[in-house]
Amino acid sequence: GLPEHFTGSIDVKATAYATATAYATATASGVPVSMVSAAYTQTLAIEGVADAPTLLAASGEIAWAPDEGGTLYLTTDGTQQGESVVGVFSPDTAESSYVQFTLSSEDTAGISVLGATALGGGVYEVDADALSDVVLTLADNYKTDFDIAFTAISKQNETVAESSDTLTFSASVQHR
């Protein structure tokens, strides 16, 4: 068999064998006849597929209390110096790991996101290693609390897999 997480090419060689008994019409005895085909070789390209990653919560408590008109980094304490709020573990080192997050609130129009790719509908994606660089900026008059739900994503070749779990954290906006 092939090793786990194998990606590459292998050559498969096949040869056909046939055995039969031929009978001559003048005699009643049979003569065994064997035939062997020419060898046929085919190269198979094997591409890896994405494995479901594991979403890891940061250690410690998540304390998000941004000021209206302020900023919030996606770290444990909401500051630029904090630890990423989540991490991603993928069993295959050939895969790329990402985090998708969804903003949910009665009004998300007052929140701008920098450092992540907008996928639409309040969903964003960022390389897992760059999550702590993502910054949310609240409009000067933004007063609505909001939640952010995180999901781990793994990509390999043209395949995508996501974690079976989601972590959601709440931000309580402080009014000035």
List the one residue out of 53, 52, 65 whose CA is nearest residue 169.
65
Residue 4, C-beta contacts closer than 8 angstroms, at least 6 positions apart: none
- Residue 156, SS3? strand
Amino acid 24: pLDDT:
60
pLDDT at 51 over 90: no
Please give the model's pTM, rounded to 2 decimal places: 0.76
Backbone angles phi, psi at 128, to 5 degrees: -55, -35
- Contact in structure between 171 and 146 (CB atoms under 8 Å): yes
pLDDT at 39 over 60: yes
Distance of CA 132 to the CA centre of its chain: 18
pLDDT at 121 over 60: yes
Amino acid 30: pLDDT:
66
- Contact in structure between 52 and 163 (CB atoms under 8 Å): yes
- 129: confidence class by pLDDT, cuts 50, 70, 90: very high
- 61: confidence class by pLDDT, cuts 50, 70, 90: confident
> Which helix H or strand E contains 168, and what residues bound it?
strand 167-171
Amino acid 22: pLDDT:
65
- 92: confidence class by pLDDT, cuts 50, 70, 90: confident
Kindly list the distances between the CA atom of residue 94 and the CA atoms of 4, 35, 51, 62, in Å, as whole numbers in the listed order.
12, 45, 10, 31
